[in-house]
Amino acid sequence: MTEPTFPRDDADALDGIEIPAPGTVRRGTLRFSHPLLAGYAWPYTVVRGVEDGPRVALISGVHPAEYPAIEGNIRVTRSLDPSAMRGVVVSLPIIDVPAFLPRTPFVSPIDGKNPNRFFPGDPEGTFSEVMADAIFRAIIAPSDALLDLHGGDMVEALYPFSVFSLSGNDEVDAQSWALCEAFGLPYAVASRPQPGGLAGTTCDAAAAAGIPSLIAEAGSSGLLTEPETRMMVDGVRNALRHLGVLPGDATVNTITRVDQFTWIRSPEEGMWYPLVATGDKVKAGQSLGRIGNLYGDTLTELTSPHDGVILFITSAAAMPKDGLAISVGGIQADHREPRRI
């Protein structure tokens, strides 16, 4: 990639990012004054258009082994020309900075917690909670929309989908759904934050604060793959057109809403032998795979609890007891068939 030729105003930042003059780009590192975050630096880029418009947070690397998400963020950010855009894009390619170079999957190596279960964070908590609080305050809360890019971690195979929150604010929820349509991944999972369920994600916290948001998922098994990177680039750019940041009409894609997202865990430890692939349609009671022991005996069979589509499969054969094996997305009765990719 060639160096940008538009005006650049580089500056480091502490506890927040100042927006540069219209028509310029600012790059630097963001640091935080909280003692638990001392010694870490977050690379950031701000692109400000020549006209006023929405402020968009573009983040990735909450799980920093999800490489098409990170690369997609980098490519989009470098391609933005402030002379041809409205508003502001604030980009952070890596959120969990300590996990990036060690290639730590799922959780932060500092406290062993998944940061995407602790937003909007807690300044009195452990590292992941404090980091979530700092990122939420500095990057997400000041924004008019959030695009959070994810994908399959080191042992995760997935079919591309997005996630949006059902926050109870009908206007915000409709705007989040519209972002998913613009992003264009085949399925969109409706997240309902609740005790004992999936909660604490970036998009849930953003929606609760009145900020339209999505999580985009593409890529598998900790690999940097071009088709999935391209999905991220195309999705972000179309979402920015939808928001009015980039010129031109946004494409409104036909996507399918998923209202039930069921994780299936293994009741036994052993070898995992899936019988289906991501993107496959399945029926209730259908065998999805089996767990075998190291003598070759079948210990248990995993079956689908309902009709749906396979969105996630653990791609590693080693399966601990109570480990996540596979997920089935339940599709509402009046669903629309997605385009195949």
Q: Rounded mean pLDDT of 263-285?
A: 98
Q: Rounded mean pLDDT of 196-215?
A: 90
**pLDDT at position 2 over 90:** no
Percent residues over pLDDT 70 in the chain: 94
Tell me where in the chain the CATH 3.40.630.10 domain(s) lie: 13-253
- CB atoms < 10 A from the CB of 49, how many? 23
User: Given this model, what pLDDT does residue 335 score?
Assistant: 46
Q: How far apart are CA 214 and CA 175, in angstroms?
A: 10
pLDDT band, residue 194 (cuts 50/70/90): low
pLDDT in tens, 14-71: 999 999 999 999 999 999 999 999 999 999 999 999 999 999 999 999 999 999 999 9
Q: Rounded mean pLDDT of 240-255?
A: 97
Tell me where in the chain the CATH 2.40.50.100 domain(s) lie: 260-331
User: Given this model, what pLDDT does residue 340 score?
Assistant: 42
Domain 260-331 has CATH 3.10.690.10: no
Q: How far apart are CA 277 and CA 255, in angstroms?
A: 20
**pLDDT at position 341 over 50:** no
**Pure H helices in the chain:** 67-79, 97-100, 127-135, 170-183, 202-208, 226-243
pTM reported for the whole predicted model = 0.94
67's CB contacts (< 8 A; 6+ apart) are 151, 219, 222, 223, 224, 229
User: Given this model, what pLDDT does residue 11 score?
Assistant: 84
The dotted CATH code for 13-253 is 3.40.630.10
Q: Look over the chain and give the mean of its residue pLDDT values, rounded to a whole number.
A: 94
**pLDDT at position 197 over 60:** no
Q: Rounded mean pLDDT of 249-259?
A: 94
pLDDT in tens, 280-305: 999 999 999 999 999 999 999 999 99
- The amino acid occupying position 152 is G
pLDDT band, residue 198 (cuts 50/70/90): low
Go through 173-189 and write b for each residue having 16 or more CB atoms within 10 A of its CB, e for each that does not: bebbbbbbbbbbbbbbb
User: Given this model, what pLDDT does residue 88 score?
Assistant: 99
- The amino acid occupying position 181 is E
pLDDT in tens, 162-182: 999 999 999 999 999 999 999
Collapse the DSSP code of 315 into the 3-class scheme (helix H, G, I; strand E, B; otherwise coil) and give the result: coil
User: Given this model, what pLDDT does residue 211 score?
Assistant: 98
68's CB contacts (< 8 A; 6+ apart) are 151, 218, 219, 224, 225, 228, 229, 231, 232
